[in-house]
């Protein structure tokens, strides 16, 4: 069976690993970048940790697998009649089964100025560009006070804003500058992480405030210019605004309305096998499943789809998809995390240790031991391009 997997992220890599070295499967993994990105650690790369924990070469996953071919290409065309997808330079990939795990893209909801002036942290490139912007802004400042604004009180906004406080202090200390700064966290809904239980998010909110982050709730951003962000109750002067509040589905799907029916957030509506048509599967962030938007869901989906492919080859009936509730672990500043595991809630250092162990577990499930440990340990290493901050 020739399986073409598009997307070398959580879902795509997991699906390919599950089919590795199985004689009945011939797998081509096509991804537009040559490395996998561990998104959960992007906020750390933006605030001084080594990018080696985020970017892992796709070939590191499949070094010993002889039925997996990894191709760097961006799929731009799709022909379900001919059972093929095509990339740049007219490269064509024929399939019996197609797995689409292409993730999501940043969305600004048409808010004026955001696309031009704000920073995103959805890719490693963006995280490193933000890190350098933070540095430049704090050091080139001729003002006595700077504002750093994070938009979006979801997990990424909370993680980034709280880690930022320590990082900005670090830059200030290393460079011996006295510039004062504020970190503002803007959220449109009445509380942070509004989809999670109130008692859980209350603790996170207290921690956010204790770290000195100014949380503005019930506050929708109106627009951004080069030097300020406009809010309903006035503006905040800032040259460094970070947008973490919106994603939408990969635009690939909207090009083929006959094949992909789109639901909320442009996510693809899938059946009980995560199929849209016989032999075409959509998983992870792109699929309209209950817990879509989490790495754990993408991995779970990949396990589900590949297990059904194996069942089909063994003449067994396929199982139906049952959504699995993820575990939430929200790092909130140094060595502190809030963990929600079913009904169990853990806060503080123990939560942070659990979160780091969960990172390790994920690396170990994807990579050989030595490579998993290297990626995980990189999360403890400060990596600065600035020679002064390095010390």
Does 122 participate in binding ligand FAD (rule CB under 6 A)? yes
Binding mask 132-161 for ligand FAD (x = CB under 6 A): -----------------------xx-----
Does 293 participate in binding ligand FAD (rule CB under 6 A)? yes
Does 31 participate in binding ligand FAD (rule CB under 6 A)? yes
Does 113 participate in binding ligand FAD (rule CB under 6 A)? no
Does 102 participate in binding ligand FAD (rule CB under 6 A)? yes
Distance in angstroms (rounded) separating the CA atoms of residues 327 and 275: 25
Does 215 participate in binding ligand FAD (rule CB under 6 A)? no
Distance in angstroms (rounded) separating the CA atoms of residues 144 and 137: 12
Shortest separation between residue 376's beta carbon and ligand FAD, angstroms: 14
- β-partners of residue 346 are 339
Coil, helix or strand for 19?
helix
Residue from 296, 303, 312, 374 touching ligand FAD (CB under 6 A): that is: 296
What are the backbone dihedrals phi and psi of residue 57, each rounded to the nearest 5 degrees, phi first?
-60, 135
- β-partners of residue 100 are 6, 282
Residue from 101, 124, 204, 305 touching ligand FAD (CB under 6 A): that is: 101
Nearest to 164 by CA among 332, 376, 387: 332
Shortest separation between residue 6's beta carbon and ligand FAD, angstroms: 5
With contact defined as beta carbons under 8 Å apart, do 154 and 242 qualify? no
Select the span of 91-99, 165-173, 208-216, 287-295 touching ligand FAD (CB under 6 A): 287-295
Nearer to ligand FAD, 56 or 102 (CB): 102
**Alpha helix segments (H runs only) across the chain:** 10-19, 42-46, 58-61, 114-117, 124-139, 155-175, 198-210, 295-313, 349-366, 369-378, 387-390
Binding site for ligand FAD (CB under 6 A): 6-12, 30-33, 39-40, 42, 74-75, 101-103, 121-122, 155-156, 250, 252, 284-286, 293-296, 298, 326
């Amino acid at each position: 069976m020739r399986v073409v997997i598009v997307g070398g992220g959580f879902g795509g890599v997991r699906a390919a690993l599950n089919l590795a070295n199985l004689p009945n499967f011939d797998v081509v993994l096509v991804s537009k970048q040559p490395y996998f990105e561990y998104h959960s650690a992007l906020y750390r790369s933006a605030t001084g940790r080594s990018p080696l924990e985020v970017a892992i070469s796709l070939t590191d996953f499949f070094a010993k697998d002889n039925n997996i071919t990894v191709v760097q290409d961006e799929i731009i065309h799709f022909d379900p009649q001919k059972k093929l997808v095509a990339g740049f330079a007219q490269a064509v990939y024929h399939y019996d089964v197609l797995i689409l795990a292409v993730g999501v893209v940043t969305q600004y909801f048409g808010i004026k100025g955001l696309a031009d002036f704000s920073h995103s942290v959805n890719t490693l490139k963006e995280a490193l560009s933000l890190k350098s912007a933070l540095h430049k802004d704090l050091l080139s400042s001729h003002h006595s006070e700077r504002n750093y604004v994070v938009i979006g009180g979801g997990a990424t906004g909370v993680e980034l804003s709280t880690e930022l406080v320590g990082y900005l202090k670090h830059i200030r200390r290393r460079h011996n500058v006295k510039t004062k700064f504020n970190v503002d966290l803007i959220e449109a809904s009445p509380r942070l992480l509004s989809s999670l239980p109130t008692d859980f998010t209350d603790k996170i909110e207290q921690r956010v405030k204790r770290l000195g982050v100014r949380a503005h709730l019930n506050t929708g951003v109106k627009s951004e210019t080069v030097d300020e962000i406009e809010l309903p109750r006035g503006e905040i002067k800032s040259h460094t605004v970070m947008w973490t509040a919106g994603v939408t589905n990969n635009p690939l799907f909207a090009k083929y309305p006959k094949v992909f029916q789109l639901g909320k957030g442009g996510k693809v509506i899938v059946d009980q096998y995560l199929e849209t048509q016989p032999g075409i599967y959509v998983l992870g962030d792109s699929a309209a499943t209950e817990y879509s938007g989490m790495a754990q869901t993408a991995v779970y989906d990949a396990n589900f789809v590949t297990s059904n492919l194996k069942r089909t080859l063994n003449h067994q009936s396929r199982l139906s998809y049952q959504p699995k509730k993820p575990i939430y672990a929200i790092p909130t500043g140094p060595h502190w995390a809030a963990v929600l595991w079913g009904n169990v809630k853990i806060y503080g250092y123990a939560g942070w240790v659990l979160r780091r162990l969960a990172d390790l577990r994920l690396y170990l499930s994807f990579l050989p031991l030595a490579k998993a440990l290297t990626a995980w340990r990189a999360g403890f290493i400060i990596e600065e391009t600035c020679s002064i901050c390095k010390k």
